[in-house]
Amino acid sequence: MSLTRTLKGKHPTSGLPLYHYDHTDETGESCVLFTGLATGDVTLADGTVYGVDAEVIECKNLAHAHEVAHHIGVQLEQTGQLDVPGDENDGVPIPFLHGPCPHCGAGAPYVPAEVQRFATRAEEVAHRTVENKRGSKR
């Protein structure tokens, strides 16, 4: 398994570096995961630890990638980094919600209670948004 990053150039507008990633794996088991805004380490149910500070990481297999992605989703929900700011009508931000699914892996079992928690939070956000929009039109 190997993941290499090569500087491709700079973004023409922002000037930020652009990279090319090359992933080789003779076994065909490993995969690449874009981590986005995540930081720190995540520990999987089997004890494997992945550092997610890099923009792109290599995971041992697809199951690990799913579980790492779950941990990233939870982290982004907790930190609010992906919340959508409120608009000019109501000013109320819409929080990013990570909904557990069967792909989240062993570290995040797909259980009805978690699905219900997500559904309840999503309903609360939707209700608050509708109420705020009604209030702003008066």
Long-range contacts made by residues 73-81, C-beta under 8 angstroms, separation at least 24? 73/98, 73/104, 74/98, 74/108, 75/38, 75/39, 75/40, 75/42, 76/36, 76/37, 76/38, 81/37
Is 0.95 surpassed by the pTM of this model? no
Tell me which residue of 94, 96, 95, 97 sits closest to 132, measured CA to CA.
Answer: 94
- 19 backbone dihedrals φ, ψ, rounded to 5°: -120, 150
Tell me which residue of 114, 95, 100, 94 sits closest to 71, measured CA to CA.
Answer: 100
Residues in the chain: 138
pLDDT at site 138: 46
pLDDT at site 10: 92
pLDDT per residue, tens digit, the chain (138 aa), is 678 888 899 999 989 888 888 887 777 788 888 888 889 999 998 999 999 999 899 999 988 988 898 888 888 888 887 777 766 666 667 777 776 666 676 656 555 566 666 677 777 767 665 565 555 544
pLDDT at site 82: 76
Q: What gap in Å lies between CA 72 and CA 106, rounded to an integer? A: 15
